[in-house]
Amino acid sequence: MTAYNQTSFTEFLLLGFPGPREIQILYFMVFLVIYILTIATNSMIITLVTVDKNLHSPMYFFLSNFAFLEIWYTTATIPKMLSGFLTGNKAIPYRSCIAQLCFFFTLGSIEYILLTVMAFDRYFAICYPLRYGTIMNSRLCKQLSIGSWTSGFLNGWTMSIPASQFSFCSSNQINHFFCDFIPLLKLACSDTFISEIIFFVLAWIIVLTSLFLISVSYFYIILTILRIPSTTGRKKAFSTCASHLTVVLIFFGTAIFIYLRPNPKQTYKADKVVALFFSAITPLMNPLIYSLRNKEVLKALNRAWKKICS
């Protein structure tokens, strides 16, 4: 095990998922397919929303933003992991490690905010259907989109600063498949109290604030749906929220398990699997959830396929 100090430290070793060469190649093939499908399916949603006029509405505008975000979110971690599986080189330079951490938390912060904005969009669509077009106009949608990306960037960049202040003097081996805050925290040999406070306060604020606002939105959405007299009307109203709600439960549930536990330095064997789920599997599931449960997206896909075949 190599020893380093703050001045001579140059790289980390991402231990990832160990195993013999044959298993590493199998991992490479599986996650390469997942990564390609993630890029393809999210790109498909962006293309459909862009070219199909029937999808030119606030809901699909934010969905295309979300799909674009998911492409970059999975790109923050998976390519480096694939490279490690294929070549066996698990090393990552110190600066690249901090950059990956910053990129990951920036995109994660944007995702929380964007999911909150999408909940507000569903709130106005169901609770104020007659005024929806006036409230969620093109200008407001663009402002909300820019605000989500900007505020997410600022929060994610600030969350990455504490890790850049750590000193490492005993080991450069990270028991993870990407540079995450908690594995780096466990390796640090300097006083990390202030850094922990800054990071976890920001994490709690962004996660719990988003979760609270989404919960309030769905509280009023559910009340409004229950007042709809017909069963068909209630089912139709709820179907417009089901996909978003499914994504919210998956993303928030996995992130809270990893980052908002009482003792942040306490780790579990399932941590890497859960982190893999929300960094690689969820970005693939999201477009499938939205497309398979959304008749308008399926119709747009069918129209696009007919144009290609004609």
Q: What is the pLDDT of residue 263?
A: 66
Question: What does the pLDDT average to over 209-231?
Answer: 91
Q: In the chain, where are the structural domains located?
A: 11-309
Amino acid 30: pLDDT: 95
Nearest to 133 by CA among 227, 194, 191, 56: 56
The answer to whether residue 307 scores a pLDDT higher than 90 is no
- The rounded mean pLDDT for the chain is 87
The per-residue pLDDT for 8 is 47
| Confidence label for 305 from pLDDT (cuts 50, 70 and 90) | confident
pLDDT one-digit tens code per residue, 256-283: 887 776 666 666 567 888 888 888 888 9
Residues 3-24 have a mean pLDDT of 76
- Residue 276 has a pLDDT of 87
Q: Look at domain 11-309 and name its CATH class.
A: mainly alpha
pLDDT of 114 strictly over 80? yes
